[in-house]
Structure 1
Amino acid sequence: MVSKDIEENRVSIIIPVRNVEDYVEEAVKSLFSQTYKNIEIIIINDHSVDRTRSLLDGLAKLDSRLKVYDAIGKGKVAAFNQGWSVCSGEYIFLFAGDDVLPNNSIENRCLLFGDGVDVATGKIKSFSNNKKYDGIVYPKKNAPNLSGGAAGFTREFANKIFPIPELLPNEDVWTSLHIRAFAKKINWTNDIILNYRIHENNSMGFGVAFDKKSEIIGSRNKAYKLFLEKYKNVLDLENLNYLDGKIKAEGLRKEGRIWSLLFLGGVSLKDRLANISFSSELTYKVRVVLEKYLSGR
């Protein structure tokens, strides 16, 4: 049982959804069953054309903590921003309509807050009908997962992140850059706090053709330039150099300049190899074959 002192803090869970009729009931019911009860579930229906909205209406009748809104803008990031504008929690968590939370996920992360902690996170584990993508833990090593679905934020820290630029396809890079640059204290558990469903319609484009995957990666990586433009006058040298390396690597990746990427200074070997794997049709094919071994890091 969660102590009353801890559960005094309301948690807002913001979820953009679009055409997830096959998954949304399982996702939302995993929130209903959380051991941490003081939550508000804010779902923004991003112009779904399947049964998603009607399923959500039925779920909302089962639990008053669920509030469903129709999207004003269009796209995942616009939906997150809309959810942020109406949420009231002291802690902010982001979620997806096709994933599943272990029933102690919110509690485990809330226990990590306090003593100046800005960000509380844990590990993610994938599940999929495709064995290649099933059972991957992110990250494999003893380190925090800083992706949007894993990390929870204090409201004060979330104020730095939101609004997210709406030309970005998702929140992950933008949130992780804020954590890297501005989080005074990060606390994490090695427990699995999110079960990440991988399927053919994932926004990350698992298993798609190279041209499509390259487009997805390029759209995500726009966050580096946007972040630098916004914060260049307040970032320290370490973060400026990090962003410079990321931006240069993306330029080389788009041009397919594998050798230049391999010897690019100021960028970790892991990042150089990741960019190489998305820089040509051949290297991408190799990555797809070895996906389970290369993922998780």
Structure 2
Amino acid sequence: MLISVLMAVKNECVHIESAIQSIQRQNVGNIEIIVIDDGSTDSTVEIIKSIALTDGRIIFDNNPTSGKVSAFKHGYRLAQGECIALFAGDDIMPLDSLAKRMNDMQNMESPAILMSKIQVLSEDKRIDGILIPKRKGRGNPSGASIMFDRAAAKYLMDIPDSLPNEDTWMDFCLTYLPMLHVKSHDDVACLWRVHSGNSITIKDDYQTFNKKFSKRMNVIDEFLNKYKEILPIDRIAYLKNLSCAENYRRKGDWLDILFAKITLSDKLRFLAYSNKYFYAMRKIIRSI
């Protein structure tokens, strides 16, 4: 069974070689590595082309438009694999990761999605080695930690170009779409490098973080509009409540968030990002 690993990269000259090599070392017999450059201005493209000359499994192309989401979608259009995995240009894929995931995927009903864990890779000893999520039996729904088949890709790769990344869209698909068969295992699929170039981290100041988070949370209305015809009534109602809570968060109306009809975990997250004071408290409590 062919596995397509899709990479959307931009200005990753420092880490791109080790990222690709970690995929090349996977002990699976049938794999293609599709690397899409999203307008790099450093030596990323030259490094990729040099590696591709020695490995026929690597397919390189430039993003015909711009943006991480459109780069991934362009890579998906080129993909031939029955199973899809996404990866970043600055992370490391642990040895045997693809083989372990494929072993579990073969026993799943389609449309199938397998969630794995992410492990932090950082020079900051306070966070280096942290598993996300820590809880046993629970995987991470972000792009680099999931594998999915073609039937699931119909939904997961239908990401609106207006969104800044793929992670939140995929999280919503896994959480709210009833037809998807989702399973978790405790293996690590991605060593996530935490550094200044990450798209969003708790190390950002509140204004910067809030701007990025707000763009990500546009996913609520985008998802609801796209799939309202196939979502169960109770999930539509919840997403509408979530949209209201997000509007409260953007306005800093933390008291309204308290009384919003959403889960405690969503409520706590929106509260933490509703103003700079709550955000500062979260930074004290959590280091990532």
Unpaired runs of 5+ residues, structure 2, are none
Q: Is the 8 A contact 2:116 2:145 kept in 1?
A: yes
84, 90, 96: which is aligned to 1:98? 90
Question: Do the aligned partners of 2:144 and 2:189 also contact (CA within 8 Å) in 1?
Answer: no
Residue 168 of structure 2 is matched in structure 1 by 173
Q: CA RMSD of the aligned region, Å? A: 1.5
Q: Secondary structure at the match of 2:70?
A: helix
Distance in structure 2 (CA, Å) of the matches to 1:183 and 1:217: 28
Q: State the match for 1:3 in structure 2.
A: none
> Contact 1:121–1:144 (CA<8 Å) still a contact in 2?
yes
User: Structure 2: how far apart are the matches of 1:138 and 1:238?
Assistant: 29
Asked whether 1:233 is paired with 2:229, we answer: yes
CA contact (8 A) 1:261 1:275 kept: yes
Per-residue Cα deviation, 1:130-158 (whole angstroms, up to 9, x for no partner): 23432221111132321111111101110
Which stretch of the first structure deviates more once superposed, 136-145 or 163-172?
136-145
What is the distance in 2 between the residues matched to 1:205 and 1:167?
Answer: 20
Is the Cα contact below 8 Å between 1:109 and 1:152 reproduced in 2?
A: yes
Structure 1: where are the runs of 5+ without partners? 1-8
The yes-or-no answer on 1:130 pairing with 2:124 is: yes
Distance in 2, matches of 1:55 and 1:195, equals 21
Whether the aligned pair in 2 keeps the contact of 1:119 and 1:183 (CA below 8 Å) is no
Percent identical? 31
The answer to whether the 8 A contact 1:126-1:196 is kept is: yes
User: Any residues of structure 2 matched to 1:244-259 within 5 Å, and which?
Assistant: 244-259=240-255
Match of 2:286 in 1: 291
CA displacement at 1:184 relative to structure 2: 3.5
1:146-165 pair list within 5 angstroms: 146-165=141-160
Task: Give, in whole Å, the separation in 2 of the partners of 1:178 and 1:229.
Answer: 13
Q: Distance in 2 between matches of 1:101 and 1:124?
A: 10
What is the 5 A alignment of 1:182-261? 182-261=178-257
Give the whole-Å Cα distance in 1 for the aligned partners of 2:234 and 2:138: 20
Q: Deviations over 1:256-282 (max 9, x none)?
A: 1112212322x1212111111111111
Q: CA deviation at 1:61?
A: 1.8
* 1:51 pairs with one of 35, 43, 56: 43
- Alpha-carbon distance in structure 2 between the residues aligned to 1:140 and 1:205: 18
| CA distance in 2: counterparts of 1:184 and 1:174, whole angstroms | 14
Aligned: 1:116 with 2:109: yes
Which string of whole-angstrom CA distances, capped at 9 and with x for unpartnered residues, describes residues 101-141 of structure 1?
Answer: 10111111111113414111211111112234322211111
**Which of these residues, 56, 63, 78, is aligned with residue 55 of structure 2?**
63
Whole-angstrom distance in 1 between the partners of 2:146 and 2:48:
25
Find the residue that maps to 2:105 and give its secondary structure.
Answer: coil
Distance 1:94 1:182, change over 3 A: farther
AA partner of residue 167 (structure 1): S
Q: How many pairs align?
A: 284
Q: Which residue of 15, 19, 29 corresponds with 1:27?
A: 19
> What letter corresponds to residue 159 of structure 2 in structure 1?
I
Shift of 1:205: 3.9
2:76 to 84, 106, 109: 84
- Moved segments of 4+, more than 3 Å: none
Deviations 1:17-36 (A, max 9, x none): 00011111111010010011
Deviations 1:164-209 (A, max 9, x none): 1111000111112222214442222112121111111101144112
TM-score, scaled relative to structure 1: 0.91
Q: Which amino acid aligns with 2:48?
A: L
State the AA in 2 paired with 1:153. F
* Partner Cα distance (2:128, 2:249) in 1: 28
